[in-house]
Amino acid sequence: MKPEKDYNWARQMGLLSTIPFLMAVPPIAGLLIGRYLDKRFNAYPVLTIIFLLLGFVAGVREVRNVIKKANAPTDGDQSDRGAP
7, 33 contact by CB (below 8 A):
no
Q: Looking at per-residue confidence, does 79 or 60 come out higher? A: 60
Question: Backbone phi, then psi, for 29, in 5-degree steps?
Answer: -65, -40
| Mean pLDDT confidence for 29-36 | 97
Residue 77's pLDDT is what? 53
Per-chain mean pLDDT for the chain? 86
Residue 79's pLDDT is what? 53
Rg (alpha carbons) of the chain, rounded to whole number? 18
**Does position 78 have pLDDT exceeding 60, yes or no?**
no
What are the boundaries of each domain within the chain? 15-73
Longest pairwise C-alpha distance within the chain? 60
